[in-house]
Amino acid sequence: MSTEGAMSRSRLLPSLLGILLLLMGLALLAGGIKLSTLGGSLYYLLAGIGLALTGVLLIMARRAALGLYALVLFASTVWALWEVGLDWWQLVPRLAMLFALGIVMLLPWFRRPLLTPDASPMGTRALGAAVVIAGITALASQFTNPGEIEGQLDRDSVPGMTNTAPAMPDGDWNSYGRSAHGDRYSPLAQITPENVSKLEPAWTYRTGDLPGPNDPGETTAENTPLKVNGMLYVCTPHSQVIALEPETGKEIWRFDPKLSTQKAENFKGWAHMTCRGVTYHDDAVYASAEQSPTGAASTTPASTVCPRRIFLPTADTRLIALNADTGKMCEDFGDKGQVDLTANIGGFTAGGYYSTSPPAVTQNLVVIGGHVTDNVSTDEPSGVIRAYDVHTGELVWNWDSGNPDDTTPIAEGQTYTRNSPNMWSMFSVDEKLGMLYLPMGNQTPDQFGGFRTPESEKYAAGLTALDIATGKVRWYFQFTHHDLWDMDVGGQPTLMDLKTADGVKPAVLASTKQGSIYVLDRSNGQPIVPIKEIPVPQGAVEGDYTSPTQPMSDLNFVPPVLQERDMWGVTPFDQMLCRIDFKSLRYEGMFTPPSLQGSIVYPGNFGVFDWGGISVDPVRQIAFVNPSYMAFKSKLVPAAEVAGGPGRKSETEGVQPNKGAPYGVILEALLSPMGLPCQAPAWGYVAAVDLTNNKTLWMHKNGTVRDSSPVPIPLSMGVPSLGGAFTTASGLAFLSGTLDQYLRAYDVKNGKQLWEGRLPAGAQTTPMTYTGKDGKQYVLVVAGGHGSLGTKQGDYVIAYKLPD
């Protein structure tokens, strides 16, 4: 082989690398020009020029390529440190690819063809130094934890503070939030921080309820079972109720309501199938003053048909009463065991109105709200709250926020106020104070409020306390004024006695999507933790307006305002595209108004806190929380253009029509072309708050991308969670709602993860704990996946316990 032929072949690798760098450089240059015209960083333009020239020099076999690339890598390292410091996940898209290519260029097969025997080694040395500096930067970032807070709780109790929730056996879980106070706190202490690592599966039960071809939308498993009356009560997405033996998971009875689809299969994407829970009522609990949560014995005769009953909300707008012992319908309730919730509601799109959350029960009443599908039209069903006699099913009162003063049962033939704000989440109840606590949504459509009435504005996006006996408003507090961002109060309010500088107060804690946890005196609605009105961005679209200020609690997990440098990606290219998207959208911080340009909503309507709420330890006086941080974007679409758009696919896909409003809206997460969040991780945390001083004790990123990335590697990046946690007297917290398929246990004193159990499907729900007849403490979770989040679906109920 001739010398010329050998040299030609040796230059092949540098030439191929040169072509690659040239193409990369041109791509960065094109995007960099676009970004710079939007007022963004000039880095991508300059880096594009540097990479393209390096590529040309490599193709020409010029040794100057090494020195020029060294300059690009060194400058990129300095720029990265200036923008984000030693934050490993932020450094990855900025330096990882360039670092790897630098190492490749130092390999003999790429370097030697560029050099002659008498060539200066300066370029090689410069590139080697640049690679070393970038490597040291990456190594140093391994010892930092941006966004995390390290801390340690130094107490096991606060003197004088006890669990004041309604009494029940320690081993039971007889309400959605364990008690009607929604505290999600269990006095059980058999499983401890010292032995929780030994937890193992005790049994697994499969319900058989899986997504079907005629479902009107996503199927989501969000159920927290009850353990009461010696049984476990599970409800499935298709509104089936199953009673299980707590120690073995053996099926005792099953009730299938035989759902009517209401022809909802013709309206796919307008609703989702879910059942967060059922509700239990036992006449014996109220039979004596000692047992009764009210402190007084009931004067209402016990039912001879169903003294213990389960109340089931169904996806086809019924409220059903079941005999808790047998699963048979209670014939004395309503129409042979059921109440028709379509009564007096008026017309609605199939699947557009039903109850997804368990009703509240009191001594004499069962009280229920309803889910109204967002952003369909300005003529949707009422958000009325209805209270029925717990035995007969007779309507006792109704509270319609569009007609709030008249709670007398509506007359036959009349219709509740159309489109009034609804309450789709979970009630909390204080029977001693005689109040129900309602976390309220807003009047649809979410992103345009020009047609809202004063009545709907008054009670929307806040907390309303109703008198149990009459349904009259006792007090209310609004958390978002003129809500244009879908900031429904999703979490069940948490009731507890709180130790303050002014003594012990009856408190209600309301977690919200915007990140504030509002702490109010539940007897009168006055703030216990200060709430400040803060100025917010202005400038709504024509026909609408914005509130000049919004209330923010001093106790909050509100994230910092996003900056261009917070945009993220796996590579420089998708990060650059996210930066272009960011600079193309309207964003002036939290509560940036919706716009025709498109606006960033951060925190997004996924929330910092959603329906999972929070858990409190009333003895230690702490709260365990799981904040999530996902930016969304909304773009208003003129009504004339809605018909020609892609159409609605679900509540977060396609054009939401908002029929009757001047604008439809496109809602979607702020994602890169690779489907990853545009904002940098972490996206999900666990944290604890010391409620005696409202300080965050500790905060750690939580969860991995194992089940949400193309390559199933369990990188601990911190992922969002949907669902709540519970805490125990032994000092543990359990959470399963992350996007990866795990149930995890944490030490509430320092946040250390002590155990995790791999699940066969997503578990976007709230786990619970109980004691069986065998004296063992169990931890139970429903793993059924979540259609809206795309987690793996299933039909599993799984219980864990310590080894015998």
Catalytic residues: 486
**797 in the Ramachandran plot: left (φ > 0), alpha (ψ -120 to 50) or beta?**
beta
Read off φ and ψ for residue 283, nearest 5 degrees.
Answer: -60, -30
Instruction: Cite the DSSP H helix spans in 322-415.
Output: none
∠ CA 269-270-271 to the nearest 5 degrees?
Answer: 100
What CA–CA distance (Å, rounded) separates 797 from 250? 11
Cis amide prior to 603 (ω within 30 degrees)? yes
- Give the separation between CA 217 and CA 208, rounded to whole angstroms: 19
Q: Which residue in this structure is represented by tokens 């969002």?
A: 720
What CA–CA distances, in Å, run from 127 to 32, 58, 117, 130, 691? Answer: 24, 14, 19, 5, 54
Closest by CA position to 456, among listed 513, 380, 532, 343: 380
The two tokens of residue 767 are 């786990």
d(CA 279, CA 225): 10
Q: Which two tokens stand for residue 736?
A: 């399963």
Cα–chain center distance at 83? 29
What one-character-per-residue DSSP string does 520-563 give?
EETTT--BSS-EEEEE----PPTT----SEEEEESSB-PPPPP-
Q: Are 621 and 690 in contact (CB under 8 A)?
A: yes
- Cβ-in-10-Å burial (0-12, 13-18, 19+) of 632 comes to buried
- Burial (Cβ within 10 Å: 0-12, 13-18, ≥19) of residue 356: buried
Q: Which residue has the tokens 């029925």?
A: 388
Q: Hey, what are 211's tokens?
A: 């997504």
Sheet holding 360-361, edge to edge: 360-361, 365-368, 385-389, 395-399
Task: Name the token pair of 794.
Answer: 């299933």
CB-based contacts of 1: which residues, under 8 Å, 6+ apart?
none
The span from the CA of 337 to the CA of 305, in Å, is: 11
Integer Cα distance of 540 and 547 in angstroms: 10
Cβ neighbours around 459 below 10 Å, total: 25
- Six token digits for residue 309: 């009953």
Helix (H) or strand (E) holding 217: strand 217-219
Q: Cα dihedral sign for 514, 515, 516, 522?
A: positive
Q: Are 384 and 398 in contact (CB under 8 A)?
A: yes
Give the chain's end-to-end CA distance (angstroms, integer): 76
Identify the H or E element spanning 466: strand 462-467
Residue for token digits 């890598």?
73
